[in-house]
Amino acid sequence: MTAVTADSQEAYEAVFDAAVAADERIEPRDWMPDAYRATLVRQIAQHAHSEIIGMQPEANWITRAPSLRRKAILMAKVQDEAGHGLYLYSAAETLGTGRDELLDKLHSGRQKYSSIFNYPTLTWADVGAIGWLVDGAAITNQVPLCRCSYGPYARAMVRICKEESFHQRQGYEALLALSRGTPAQHEMAQDAVNRWWWPSLMMFGPPDDESAHSAQSMAWKIKRHSNDELRQRFVDICVPQAESLRLTLPDPDLRWNEERGHHDFGAIDWAEFREVLKGNGPCNEQRITQRRRAHDEGAWVREAAAAYAAKQNDRIKGDESGETGEATA
């Protein structure tokens, strides 16, 4: 018996490996290695959590947006983020886990979200800087995920990337308006870029030689490029954009390297990155507390919806068995 099981295990693995090698999509009902499933649940859940926590720094400015047009754009963006969270929880659920379970892991700190959302939005310009840099980094990371080997995740990313690129352009345009505005507005924009630049570079994760999951994820074609490759690509994209914004990037070592055909840039403060990941960033406590509070204070609402649905079901059953005369549809 054992031998047969081992054989079929190998046969399944061979089918899976061949599908991945041929760039075919793995779908929810297909066999997949347990570790592949676990890696995807971890990554997709963390991605979903990031969308949900990521609403907070921007929502912080909805009630203070300086024009009705900007207010509408910002509200639409925060709404999209909730929608992205919903797509991603659905994608994670195809792997056999529930949204409630994932939210519970977020609330108890057992699953993480992107370190970037632990930084505060201190001025209106931060909303523009988040759009340009944070969404820009997210897109650089996520566009390759549209070709990820797991079908539901790849398809969610196609939809998400379309909306994210729109947000990124709006963020750039908001910064442009500030940069070309009054001296005070220009200064506000520069200050925001100074504060968001390095945390944005950290969004690509630890350097390649310290990245625990990279090699396996690349072999499984969940990841297509290394952290450092994507980070370099992002820096190369941002430099000319910063020039046309007439803003500087806060890195004295940033310069074009003719030989490499890329920009060289300064050292990232990995000690800060690790502190933020450990929960010691400027807003970690505040972000998770707000999320928990929204969830806890909403418990009676969710209980009411469940109780109402149960009553409706009972009424329908009652109608079907002829016990009550009144239709409840």
Partner 1 sequence: MTTSLNTAALALGDDALVLSHRLGEWAGHAPVLEEEVALANIALDLLGQARVLLSLAGDEDELAFLREERAFRNAQLVEQPNGDFAHTIARQLYFSTYQRLLYGRLAAAESRAGDEQQDTLKALAAKAVKEVAYHQDHAEQWTLRLGDGTPESHDRMQRACDALWRFTGELFQPVEGVDVDWRELEADWLASVSAVLGRAALSVPEGRRETPWSAGAGRQGVHTESFGRMLAEMQHLHRSHPGASW
316 counts as binding partner 1 under rule CB under 8 A = no
Distance CA 36, CA 12 (A): 13
305 counts as binding partner 1 under rule CB under 8 A = yes
Structure tokens at 254: 């940033």
What distances in angstroms separate CA 31 from CA 16, 17, 20, one per listed residue?
A: 7, 11, 12
- Candidates 1-9, 72-80, 130-138, 155-163; binding stretch for partner 1 (CB under 8 A): 72-80
Which contacts qualify for 33-36: CB closer than 8 Å, 24 or more apart? 35/216, 36/220, 36/222
72 counts as binding partner 1 under rule CB under 8 A = yes
Geometric angle at alpha carbon 45, from 291 and 197, rounded to 5°:
75
What DSSP assignment string belongs to 1-51? -HHHHHHHHHHHHHHHHHHHHTTPPB-TTS---HHHHHHHHHHHHHHHHHH
Please select the residue that binds partner 1; options are 298, 316, 317, 324, rule is CB under 8 A.
Answer: 298
122 counts as binding partner 1 under rule CB under 8 A = no
- When the beta carbons of 75 and 254 are compared against partner 1, the nearer one is 75
- Give, as ranges, the residues between 169 and 198 that touch partner 1 (CB under 8 A): 174, 177-178, 181-182, 184-185
The residue type of 13 is E
CB burial string 168-186: b at 16+ within 10 A, e below: bebbbebbbebbeeeeebb
Q: What single-letter DSSP state applies at residue 325? A: -
Distance CA 89, CA 84 (A): 9
- When the beta carbons of 259 and 297 are compared against partner 1, the nearer one is 297
Specify the 3-state DSSP secondary structure of 150: strand
98 counts as binding partner 1 under rule CB under 8 A = no
CB of 7 to partner 1, least distance (A): 44
- When the beta carbons of 270 and 308 are compared against partner 1, the nearer one is 308
Please select the residue that binds partner 1; options are 301, 322, 325, 327, rule is CB under 8 A.
Answer: 301
CB of 74 to partner 1, least distance (A): 9
86 counts as binding partner 1 under rule CB under 8 A = yes
- CB atoms under 10 Å from CB of 70, counted, come to 18
- When the beta carbons of 40 and 102 are compared against partner 1, the nearer one is 102
97 counts as binding partner 1 under rule CB under 8 A = no
- When the beta carbons of 35 and 72 are compared against partner 1, the nearer one is 72
Q: Which residues contact 315 (CB under 8 A, 6 or more apart)?
A: 324, 328
290 counts as binding partner 1 under rule CB under 8 A = yes
- When the beta carbons of 85 and 144 are compared against partner 1, the nearer one is 85
Distance CA 153, CA 164 (A): 16
- When the beta carbons of 14 and 72 are compared against partner 1, the nearer one is 72
90 counts as binding partner 1 under rule CB under 8 A = no
- When the beta carbons of 23 and 297 are compared against partner 1, the nearer one is 297
> Residues interacting with partner 1, by CB under 8 A?
52, 55-56, 59, 62-72, 75-76, 78-79, 82-83, 85-86, 89, 124, 174, 177-178, 181-182, 184-185, 290, 293-295, 297-308, 311
